[in-house]
């Protein structure tokens, strides 16, 4: 069973998004879609209403770091 993650687990969310969506460039994703991606992750237990622009920006940045690392 995956460990529970919430909005503040930014790095873990970034890693999971990269694993689930390896061909998507993170900075092309709108926040409305990013919100759906995050809340749809296995193990995500955060309150969907508790996200905000700052958290989504941090998640997008963490995801982009994973994306760039994966590209080599």
State the pTM of this model.
0.94
Find the mean pLDDT for residues 20-44: 97
CATH code 1.10.10.600 for 10-71? yes
Quick one: pLDDT at residue 72? 84
Nearest to 52 by CA among 67, 68, 66, 38: 38
Going from the C-alpha of 41 to that of each of 48, 52, 72, the distances in angstroms are 12, 17, 25
Give residue limits of the domains in the chain: 10-71
Helix (H) or strand (E) holding 36: helix 31-39
Nearest to 29 by CA among 63, 52, 69, 6: 63
Find the mean pLDDT for residues 19-37: 98
């Amino acid at each position: 069973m995956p460990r529970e993650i919430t909005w503040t687990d930014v790095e873990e969310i970034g890693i999971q998004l990269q694993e689930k969506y390896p061909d998507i460039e993170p900075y092309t994703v709108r926040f409305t879609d990013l919100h759906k991606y995050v809340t749809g992750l296995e193990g995500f237990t955060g309150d969907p209403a508790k996200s905000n622009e700052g958290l989504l920006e941090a998640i997008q940045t963490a995801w982009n770091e994973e994306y760039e690392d994966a590209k080599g």
